[in-house]
Amino acid sequence: MNVSLVVLAAGMGSRYGGLKQMDPVGPSGQFILDYGVGDALAAGVRRIVFVIRPDIEKDFREIVGSRWEKRADVRYAMQRLEDVPSSFRVPEGRVKPWGTGHALLSALPLVEDAAITINADDYYGAEGFALLHGRLEESAADPTAHAMVAYRLANTLSENGTVSRGVCSADENGKLLGIVEKTALARSPDGAIRDAGSPETFADDTPVSMNLFGFKRVFLEQLAEDFPRFLAKYGNLPKSEFQVPTALASRMRRGDASVVMLRTTARWYGVTSRDDRAAVVEFLRTVPDPFA
- The mean of the pLDDT values for the chain is 94
In this predicted structure, what is the pLDDT of residue 22?
77
In this predicted structure, what is the pLDDT of residue 202?
97
Closest CA to 212 of 68, 43, 63, 59: 43
Residue 292 belongs to some domain of the structure? no
Q: What is the DSSP letter of 288?
A: P
Which are the contacts of 58, defined by CB distance < 8 A and separation ≥ 6?
Answer: none
- Confidence at 273, pLDDT banded by 50, 70, 90: confident
Residue 93 belongs to some domain of the structure? yes
Which percentage of the chain shows pLDDT scores above 70? 98
Closest CA to 131 of 266, 288, 274: 266
Residue 290 belongs to some domain of the structure? no
Phi, psi of 73 (to 5 degrees): -80, 95
Domain count, the chain: 1
The model's pTM:
0.95
pLDDT, greater one: 272 or 172:
172
- Give the pLDDT confidence of 185-206 residue by residue, as tens digits: 999 999 999 998 788 999 999 9
Residue 86 belongs to some domain of the structure? yes
How many Cα atoms are found within 13 Å in the side-chain-facing hemisphere of 180? 7
Closest CA to 107 of 219, 265, 197: 219
- Give the pLDDT confidence of 126-179 residue by residue, as tens digits: 999 999 999 999 999 999 999 999 999 999 999 888 999 999 999 999 999 999
CATH of the domain at 265: 3.90.550.10
Whether pLDDT at 41 is above 80:
yes
- Confidence at 87, pLDDT banded by 50, 70, 90: very high
Whether pLDDT at 96 is above 70:
yes
How many angstroms separate the CA atoms of 147 and 256, rounded? 14
In this predicted structure, what is the pLDDT of residue 184?
95
Which percentage of the chain shows pLDDT scores above 90? 88
Residue 289 belongs to some domain of the structure? no
Range in 21-25, 170-174, 217-221 with the lowest mean pLDDT: 21-25
Find the mean pLDDT for residues 281-289.
Answer: 96
How many angstroms separate the CA atoms of 156 and 208, rounded? 9
133, 3 Cβ separation under 8 angstroms: yes
Domain membership of residue 238 as a residue range: 3-284
- Confidence at 274, pLDDT banded by 50, 70, 90: confident
Residue 291 belongs to some domain of the structure? no
Residue 108 belongs to some domain of the structure? yes
195, 48 Cβ separation under 8 angstroms: no
